[in-house]
Amino acid sequence: MEKNELEQRIREILKKVKSQNITLEEIYQSTKIVYSPEIAKQMDIIIGNLVQENKLEPLKNARKNLMGTPLKYRIVRYQKDYAETKQEIMQLHEKINVQYYLKHPEEYEEYRDEIFKINNFIALEEKGQTLTVNERSYQIWKDEKKLKQQENILKKLGIGFKELNCYETYEPFFYFENNQYNEKNKKVLIIENRDTFWTFKKIAEKYQNFYLIIYGEGKKILNSFEYIENFNIKKETDILYFGDIDYEGINIYVSLVQTYSDYHILPYVVAYHKMIELENNPNQIKKKQNKREDYIEVFLNYFDEEDRKKLRNMFENNFYIPQEILNYEEVEKIV
């Protein structure tokens, strides 16, 4: 092996070693070269060069080999001087919290351009009309996705979309609003599947049992639920969720509860009970679904002992019941 090639390999090894110290034997082993007198001479020269460059520092009292080369070294890590960078960070706008980047100046240098543009906008006295996040992002970077992608930087700067005079938009859900509903406490129902949504819509029109029926569209509701802010629904209102009795249906429900914990979201127990009552011979789940035992337990806690036993047996045997089992006639029996 050529001396230059061997030296380059050793330099690469030193960069990757996580330990603070390294022995001459470990260097030999890492290079995977066979010892020979010629290699030993090359190694002695290379180690000497690294010591001269302050890349390696022989440990005090370290033993030496027959050539006088110390057998143990401390790897000297390069420490960059971030004094100027920290001074620059201190000049950021007073509304920006600089503490994180003062502790991580190397990260500040990596995202300097993004931070500069955020800082320049914060410094504007007149920020104009309130825009959506994507509109503001395009205004600042000419990239409508950039701001959402750099949201972690905003958090580290201690600011949010409010300081950038913009707001997040959310996808609306499809819904039926019953304007004939007269009760003060507005009852809300979220339904996972489309056919069942239309069935409950007809029932609500006839019996006035729900003010708002939302078509969840499976997992979509996890992103679109915020649209409920457009309705006069109090946070303490019982919002009932009704989906398939399978792993995915339960995952959607529990995820919805966790994501929007300010709201009082409950499973529509009466409807689930009717499903269990109607189906004595459920089918097995055909497609692979994510089974979350912890989510199942959260769901089961809302049911009485008899229904819990039946549901647990279903999940243990990989059975499911689609909510379409509740047709119009069956739904009429539970309103």
pLDDT at 1: 57
pLDDT at 274: 96
Domain ranges of the chain: 3-75, 83-167, 174-332
pLDDT at 222: 95
For 241-299, write each residue's pLDDT tens digit. 999 999 999 999 999 999 999 999 999 999 999 999 999 899 999 888 999 999 999 99
pLDDT at 272: 97
Q: How far is CA 224 from CA 13, 218, 228, 256, 260, in A?
A: 51, 11, 8, 10, 11
pTM of the predicted structure, to 2 decimals = 0.61
According to CATH, what is the number of the domain 3-75?
Answer: 1.10.10
Q: Is residue 166 very low, low, confident or very high in pLDDT (cuts 50, 70, 90)?
A: very high
- Say whether pLDDT at 79 is over 80: no
For 103-138, write each residue's pLDDT tens digit. 999 899 999 999 999 999 999 988 889 999 999 999
Look at the domain 174-332 and name its fold.
Dna Topoisomerase Vi A Subunit; Chain: A, domain 2 (3.40.1360)
Q: Is residue 163 very low, low, confident or very high in pLDDT (cuts 50, 70, 90)?
A: very high
- Which class for 119: exposed (0-12), middle (13-18), buried (19 or more C-beta within 10 A)? middle
Give the 3-state secondary structure of residue 104: coil
